[in-house]
């Protein structure tokens, strides 16, 4: 009598079990979760602007793009820029029957043909900083005009690229200034909580911003006034090519990048995006310096009109932020100086009292001192000044104490 040994699992069945385990590991979900950099990315994609994600290797740039494509239901086409030739983006010449009369058309690569057939998609240009200068030059037309050889990509195709800083890129190159100026640059960093929760199976959900239809005309007007107002006051910012080669590979101001900035402000305004999101986008388009100047200008645009405040000081709503409140109070005093009369002077004092009651008292010291100097001989001192006298006196005492302390320190150091 023979004993039959149990058959061992075949290699195919073992792989099937392994595949089942891999499928379980890939089975993740998404959740609505505040994520500033992801919101900035989706807003720029919605605005149809090319985006370049900068980040160290392994930071999750590719994973973010894959998840973005899935969330937006867009076919993802990945092209590793560093392993392609310039002709892969400018097109390969194809000689026809009669080149003398028909010319030599430039045939596009297969990935471009697939995008055109799909009619929509997300084109991901990876490892951009390791692409040779000749390849970067060939990418200029693709990024700006959406053309590959003789083929034009559909309007529904969005372009996002990724790059590592030169210090951490394999055989990296600095990005050329013409190519860099075509992108909105976003610095991708990891959030510990997002990573931990994502590894647990739940990642943030990428969604396109909801644009309020009724806000569209205002959003366009606001964006145009913001950009044009800043450039009229600071014409040197219209075009400023950095002198440093490394900085030329990042965001810098030019008419092209200001146009992108205008579009981003309009989209952010219509979507009701936060200041943090807008800051990432604006600085990613024109650089930190010009971007911060523009953000400060935007804050001033939202300040209430001094004349409106003087007309109804009792109903005035002052900004919460200290720097903005200081700017409003200074503007009110400047308005009284420009057109002084007794009623406006009294209204300004009422506003200063309101500022003391609803915010930091030290913010009224300078405006109160300046406003007092505008008093004319036949103007009676309003009773409300008594409520400010203590604040001004205390501030002056603190200033004198600080001056004495500085003087003693200076003497001790001699």
Round to whole Å and give the CA distance between 131 and 127: 7
Residues 283, 170: one domain?
no
Sheet containing 157-163: which strands, arranged edge to edge?
76-80, 121-126, 157-163, 51-54, 184-187
Asked if residue 81 lies in contact with residue 93, where contact means CB atoms within 8 angstroms, the answer is no
Structural domain boundaries, residue 234? 213-301
Residues for the chain: how many in total? 414
pLDDT at position 259 is 97
- Which of 301, 324, 351 represents a domain boundary (last residue)? 301
Please compute Rg for the chain using Cα positions. 30
Phi, psi of 210 (to 5 degrees): -90, 115
Within a domain: 331: yes
Within a domain: 252: yes
Helices 365-372 and 342-358 pack at an angle, to 10 degrees, of 160
The dihedral over CA atoms of 293, 297, 298, 304, expressed in degrees to the nearest 10, equals 150
Within a domain: 7: no
Within a domain: 296: yes
pLDDT at position 208 is 84
CATH number of residue 66's parent domain: 3.40.50.300
Residues 52, 109: one domain?
yes
pLDDT at position 20 is 93
- The token pair that represents 348 in the structure block: 């300004």
Within a domain: 231: yes
Asked if residue 266 lies in contact with residue 220, where contact means CB atoms within 8 angstroms, the answer is yes
| Residue 162, helix vs strand vs coil | strand
Residues 238, 186: one domain?
no
- Which of 278, 301, 324 represents a domain boundary (last residue)? 301
Within a domain: 9: no
Residues 168, 44: one domain?
yes
DSSP class of residue 163 equals E
pLDDT at position 101 is 64
Round to whole Å and give the CA distance between 54 and 39: 16
Answer positive or negative: Cα dihedral of 183, 185, 189, 194. negative
pLDDT at position 401 is 42
Residues 64, 120: one domain?
yes
Residues 248, 347: one domain?
no
- As for how many domains the chain has, the answer is 3
- The token pair that represents 246 in the structure block: 């490394």
Residues 384, 254: one domain?
no
**What pLDDT tens digit does each residue of the chain (414 aa) get?**
455 555 555 667 888 999 999 999 988 888 888 889 999 999 999 999 999 999 888 888 888 888 888 888 889 999 998 888 888 887 777 766 666 666 667 778 888 889 999 999 999 999 888 888 888 888 998 998 888 877 889 989 999 999 988 766 556 678 889 999 999 999 998 888 888 988 898 888 888 889 999 999 999 999 999 999 899 888 999 999 998 888 899 999 999 999 999 999 999 999 999 999 999 999 999 999 999 999 988 888 778 888 888 998 888 888 888 888 888 888 889 999 999 898 998 898 888 888 888 888 778 888 888 888 888 888 887 776 666 665 555 444 434 544 555 565 666 666
pLDDT at position 57 is 84
Within a domain: 24: no
Within a domain: 8: no
pLDDT at position 398 is 39
Round to whole Å and give the CA distance between 198 and 31: 10
Residues 294, 367: one domain?
no
pLDDT at position 353 is 85
Helices 288-301 and 322-338 pack at an angle, to 10 degrees, of 60
- The token pair that represents 204 in the structure block: 């943030």
DSSP class of residue 324 equals H
Residues 177, 289: one domain?
no
- Which of 245, 273, 301 represents a domain boundary (last residue)? 301
Residues 197, 249: one domain?
no
Asked if residue 143 lies in contact with residue 183, where contact means CB atoms within 8 angstroms, the answer is yes
Residues 269, 336: one domain?
no
pLDDT at position 167 is 67
Rounded to two decimals, the pTM is 0.75
Residues 255, 227: one domain?
yes
């Amino acid at each position: 009598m023979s004993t039959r040994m149990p058959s061992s699992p075949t290699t195919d069945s073992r792989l099937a079990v392994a595949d089942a385990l891999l499928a379980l590991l890939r089975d993740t979900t998404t959740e609505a979760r505040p994520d500033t950099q992801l919101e900035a990315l989706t807003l720029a994609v919605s605005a149809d602007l090319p985006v370049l994600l900068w980040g160290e290797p392994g930071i999750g740039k590719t994973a973010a793009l894959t998840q973005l494509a899935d969330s937006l239901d867009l076919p993802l086409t990945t092209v590793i820029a560093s392993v392609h030739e310039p002709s892969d983006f400018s097109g390969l010449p194809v000689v026809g029957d009669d080149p003398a009369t028909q010319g030599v058309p430039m045939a596009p690569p297969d990935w471009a043909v697939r995008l055109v057939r799909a009619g929509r998609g997300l084109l991901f240009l990876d490892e951009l900083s390791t692409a040779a200068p000749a390849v970067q030059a060939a990418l200029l037309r693709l990024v700006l005009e959406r053309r590959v050889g003789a083929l034009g990509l559909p309007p529904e195709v969005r372009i996002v690229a990724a790059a590592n800083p030169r210090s951490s890129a394999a055989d990296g190159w600095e990005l050329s200034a013409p190519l860099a100026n075509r992108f909105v640059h976003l610095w991708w960093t990891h959030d510990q909580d997002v990573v931990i929760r994502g590894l647990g199976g739940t990642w943030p959900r990428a969604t396109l911003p909801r644009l309020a239809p009724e806000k569209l005309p205002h959003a366009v007007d606001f964006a145009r006034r913001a950009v044009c107002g800043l450039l009229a006051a600071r014409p040197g910012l219209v075009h400023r090519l950095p002198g440093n080669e490394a900085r030329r590979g990042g965001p810098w101001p030019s008419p092209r990048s200001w146009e992108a900035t205008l579009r981003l402000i309009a989209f952010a305004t219509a979507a009701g995006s936060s200041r943090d999101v807008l800051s990432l986008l604006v600085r990613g388009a024109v650089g930190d310096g010009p971007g911060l100047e523009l953000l400060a200008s935007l804050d001033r645009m939202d300040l209430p009109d001094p004349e409106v405040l003087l007309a109804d000081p009792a109903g005035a709503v002052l900004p919460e932020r200290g720097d903005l409140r200081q700017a409003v109070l200074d503007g009110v005093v400047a308005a009284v100086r420009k057109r002084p009369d007794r009623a406006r002077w009294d209204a300004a004092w009422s506003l200063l009292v309101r500022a003391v009651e609803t915010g930091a008292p030290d913010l009224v010291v300078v405006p109160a001192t300046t406003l007092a100097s505008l008093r004319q001989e036949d103007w009676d001192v309003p009773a409300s000044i008594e409520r400010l006298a203590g604040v001004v006196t205390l501030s002056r005492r603190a200033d004198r104490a600080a001056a004495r302390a500085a003087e003693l320190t200076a003497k001790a150091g001699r």
